[in-house]
Amino acid sequence: MEVVHTIPELRAAVARARQAGRTIGFVPTMGCLHEGHLALIRRAKAETGYVVVSIFVNPTQFGPNEDFAKYPRTLANDVAGSATAGADLVFAPATEDFYAPGASTWVEETFVSEGLCGEFRPGHFRGVTTVVAMLFNAVQPDVAVFGRKDLQQLAALRRMVRDLLFPLRIIAHETVREANGVAMSSRNRYLSPADFAKATAIPAALAVAQALVAAGERDAGRVRSAALARLAAEPALRPQYCQVVDAETLRPVDQVTPGRTVLAVAGHLGATRLIDNADLG
C-alpha cells in the first residue's frame, strides 16, 4: 500500500490504477480510524478494484468553539489499519498543501443541510461539501463509501453529487456499533467509561421508536415523545434534537411511512457530542 501527501502523487497513483483497468473506490476520513471506518474500506474494496483512503482533519467543517485543535491525529495507526482493511493508497495532505492560500471558493448545499445538525453547527456542512468536492476532484473515484451514522452529511453529499453532476456512485454503509449498541465514532474516545455506558440511552431511544412503529404506531409525534422519554431517563445526557424526518428531505413529518422515515438524535454527554439515527419500519 502506498502513502502519498500531495495531489500530483495522488493523481499519478490513481492514473496507474486506471491504466491497469481497475475501478477506483474512495473512503474520505478525518483519521482516528475505528472499526466503522475499516468497514467502509472493506466495502469499497468489495465494490472496486483500487481503494483510496484520505486522512485529512478538515479545518473548514469545525466551528469556532469545536474540537479541531484537539481532534486526534493518529496517522501511523490509520495507515496500518487502512492497509489491513484492504486500501491500496492513503492520501494524507497537509492543510497548507490542500487549501490554496487565500482560498475563497465554497461548495454549499442549501436544502437538506438545514435543520438537525445544521441548526446547531452553522457552516459545518459547507465545509464538508467543499472539502469532499475537492477530494472528488483530486481522486476522481468511480465509487465513494460513507457511513449512515452521519445521516445529514450523507444526504448533503448525495445532493451535491446529483446537482453538480459528479460522475460517481455513493454507497451508504450501515452504521457500525460498539458491543453496547453505541454508534462507533472517533469522538467516543472522549467519553469516560461511565459516560460511554450512559451513551446507550441513544440507541435505546432509537429501539423504543422502532418497536412502536413495528407495533403499528404511525403518529410521528407519539414516536418522538417515546424516544424523548427514553433519552430523559438518562439525566446525564443533554438531548440537542430528536426528530422524526423524511429519509430523503430530512424535513420533520407528522406520519411515519415505513421505509421512508428516520428518527435522528443528537445529544451531549459532558463536552462530547454524539449523533445517531435509525430507520423506522
From 108, 74, 89, select the one nearest 1 (Cα to Cα). 89
Predicted confidence at residue 67, as pLDDT, reads 76
User: How many Å from the N-terminal Cα to the C-terminal Cα in the chain?
Assistant: 41
- The span from the CA of 223 to the CA of 202, in Å, is 14
Q: Which three three-digit cell numbers place residue 82? A: 487502512
Running DSSP on this structure, what letter comes out for residue 236? T
- The span from the CA of 163 to the CA of 160, in Å, is 5
User: Angle 278-266-277 (CA atoms, 0-180°, nearest 5)?
Assistant: 10
- Give the three-class secondary structure for 152: helix
The whole model's pTM is what?
0.95
The topology under which CATH files domain 2-173 is: Rossmann fold (3.40.50)
Point out the residues that are catalytic: 37
Q: What is the mean pLDDT of each successive set of 10 residues along the chain, which is 281 residues long?
A: 97 98 98 96 98 95 82 93 98 92 95 97 96 98 98 98 98 98 95 97 98 98 98 98 98 97 97 97 84
Predicted confidence at residue 65, as pLDDT, reads 75
Four-way CATH pick for 186-279: 3.30.1300.10, 3.40.50.620, 3.40.50.2000, 3.30.499.10: 3.30.1300.10
- The span from the CA of 175 to the CA of 35, in Å, is 10
Confirm if 195 and 238 have CB atoms less than 8 A apart: no
Full DSSP string of 55-108: E---GGGS-TTSSTTTS---HHHHHHHHHHHT-SEEE---HHHHSPTT------
Three-state SS letters, 119-144: HHCCCHHHHHHHHHHHHHHHHCCCEE
The gap from C-alpha 258 to its chain's centroid, in whole angstroms, comes to 23
Predicted confidence at residue 80, as pLDDT, reads 98
Q: Where are the domains of the chain?
A: 2-173, 186-279
Predicted confidence at residue 69, as pLDDT, reads 82
